[in-house]
Amino acid sequence: MDKQLVWKDEFNIGIDAIDKEHQRLFSIINRLFVLRHEEQKSGKACEEGIRYFYEHAIRHFTDEENYMELIGYKNLKIHKRIHKDFRDRTLPVLEGELKRSNYSPEAVDHFLAVCAGWLIGHTMTEDRAIAGKDVSRWEELLPAQELESMKNVIMDCVHQMFDLKARVISETYDGEKFGNGIYYRMVYGREQDRKKWEIIMVFEEKILVNTIGKLMGVRSKKLDVMLINATRYSAGQFIWHVMSHFPSVEAYEVQEENLLTYEQFQQIFEKEKPQVSLLFGTDQGYFSYCIIAPHLLETGIGTPLAVQNEMAETRNYFHMRKESGKPKILLVDDSITIREGIRRLLVGDYEVSAVQSGVAAIRAITLDKPDLVLLDYDMPVCDGRHVLEMLRSEKEFADVAVIFLTSRDDPESVKKVLSLKPEGYMMKYLKPAEIRQRVDTFFKKKKAEQTGRS
């Protein structure tokens, strides 16, 4: 048995009655973890334990709301809504799933993951605000001030929830891939108009294992289905905490939730640029926070998640996103037509990511070193020459293979390209089959050289 919710002093908000109730909820979850792995007791004992947790949580919500009303807590309405959603939507569906499956191990795992993730997120965001351990909401701020406030809220929340010190790496994150990531999307909307907020958080796998996994007492260094589910509920609380600093947020409701593949995430960045796109670094890995507002892109980005289908969808997502073992190609071109055409041509047998500028290429290569870069030679601001020169100047990236993409075939232009000593160059107007053949040939040659050395 390798999972136990770990209570930390940082979880205490300084209000004795609430802190004791939180510890009791953690304790009940931990007892259920134990029962789940004692197979001879798991059936009836788990059923009784889950019923006890259910009743205790609902009673705690009522007591907490009464306390907030007593002290005149300004965000009582928001807090009540969060409780109501978990009490009236999430818990009943989980209970129904448990009963239908006769408290199967899989259904119990789902219940525990959801409750653990929700408790971690809620305890370390909304509940801390009751004790005044929070920053004020943003009222009438200029965009620059609002962005600065958002960065501070996010970094503060990361510190509160995970005891990690985050730093801003970029305020113009362009969707570059970093490691093996989890891509989580939530959409908020309101009934009276079509205004919507689309928030996407991207987590490097190791940051989840070393934060939420650690809080759950997971000993493995690998992500699993249970940890992904716990992450979703913690991340949902995280996002709502940041969103709650916007004026008039009370009118917005969660309309959709998805787990995205990297390709689906890339499509969003190709279609419309976010109004906020932040990349953060920590000692445990990278994460990003992106907002597209006020309207949502066209529907159909990933399978919508609901409590009823999230267990199956999370399991499918987990298996789908496992490391493919395919060679990684970074495609750099300022033309969306070129990027999308070559990406579709190669994506079957290669793991393809794409960016639109030289600056984004440097960042992408730093975050997730590719096996091959297909690099546009003619780009504004930072062209292919500049990118390759920067790569060759850094020891860590000096061996990154680069093939230039160019539309010029005159002798002078070819001479300039070859003087930089790339692995080769390709004309953009080649037929798709020829482009594919060039890439395949490069990797076959590379594999043969590696075999020869071994």
Q: What is the DSSP code (8-state) at residue 379?
A: -
Q: How far apart are CA 118 and CA 49, in angstroms?
A: 18
What is residue 372's predicted lDDT score, i.e. its pLDDT?
Answer: 94
Give me the mean pLDDT over the 296-316 stretch: 58
What is residue 254's predicted lDDT score, i.e. its pLDDT?
Answer: 82
What is residue 287's predicted lDDT score, i.e. its pLDDT?
Answer: 93
What phi, psi does 137 have (nearest 5°)? -70, 155
Share the mean pLDDT of the chain.
78
What percentage of the chain carries pLDDT values higher than 70?
A: 80
**The one-letter amino acid at 324:** S
- The model's pLDDT over 392-412, given as tens digits with 9 standing for 90+, comes to 888 888 888 999 888 776 777
The Cα angle at residue 158 between residues 157 and 161, in degrees rounded to 5:
80
Give me the mean pLDDT over the 279-306 stretch: 69
Burial of 213 (0-12, 13-18, 19+ CB in 10 A): buried
* DSSP H or E stretch at residue 183: strand 181-189
- The model's pLDDT over 7-39, given as tens digits with 9 standing for 90+, comes to 777 667 777 777 888 888 888 877 777 776 665
Instruction: Using the predicted structure, report yes or no on whether residue 193 has a pLDDT greater than 70.
Output: no
What is residue 297's predicted lDDT score, i.e. its pLDDT?
Answer: 34
Contact 387, 367 (CB under 8 A): no
What is residue 371's predicted lDDT score, i.e. its pLDDT?
Answer: 92
Instruction: Using the predicted structure, report yes or no on whether residue 174 has a pLDDT greater than 70.
Output: yes
Question: Which of the residue ranges 10-14, 105-109, 200-204 would you say has the lowest mean pLDDT?
Answer: 10-14
We find that the CATH architecture of domain 1-134 is Up-down Bundle (1.20)
Residue whose C-alpha is closest to residue 175's, from 368, 348, 405, 44: 368
What is residue 374's predicted lDDT score, i.e. its pLDDT?
Answer: 93
Take residue 107 and report the two structure tokens written for it: 């259904």
Give me the mean pLDDT over the 213-225 stretch: 78
What percentage of the chain carries pLDDT values higher than 90?
A: 8
What is residue 47's predicted lDDT score, i.e. its pLDDT?
Answer: 76
Cis status, amide bond into 380, omega within 30 of 0: no
Does the reported pTM lie above 0.75?
no
Q: How far apart are CA 242 and CA 137, in angstroms?
A: 9
Contact 401, 334 (CB under 8 A): no
What is residue 288's predicted lDDT score, i.e. its pLDDT?
Answer: 93
Return the higher-pLDDT residue of 143 and 349: 349
What is residue 139's predicted lDDT score, i.e. its pLDDT?
Answer: 37
- The model's pLDDT over 111-165, given as tens digits with 9 standing for 90+, comes to 888 888 887 777 766 666 666 555 443 333 345 667 787 888 899 888 877 888 9
What is residue 266's predicted lDDT score, i.e. its pLDDT?
Answer: 84
Instruction: Using the predicted structure, report yes or no on whether residue 168 has a pLDDT greater than 50.
Output: yes
- The model's pLDDT over 33-80, given as tens digits with 9 standing for 90+, comes to 777 666 545 556 677 778 778 787 888 888 888 888 888 877 777 778
Which CATH fold would you assign to the domain 135-322? Chemotaxis protein chec (3.40.1550)
Residue whose C-alpha is closest to residue 184's, from 203, 170, 169, 166: 203
What is residue 63's predicted lDDT score, i.e. its pLDDT?
Answer: 85
Annotated domain spans of the chain: 1-134, 135-322, 328-453
Assign domain 328-453 to its CATH superfamily: Response regulator (3.40.50.2300)
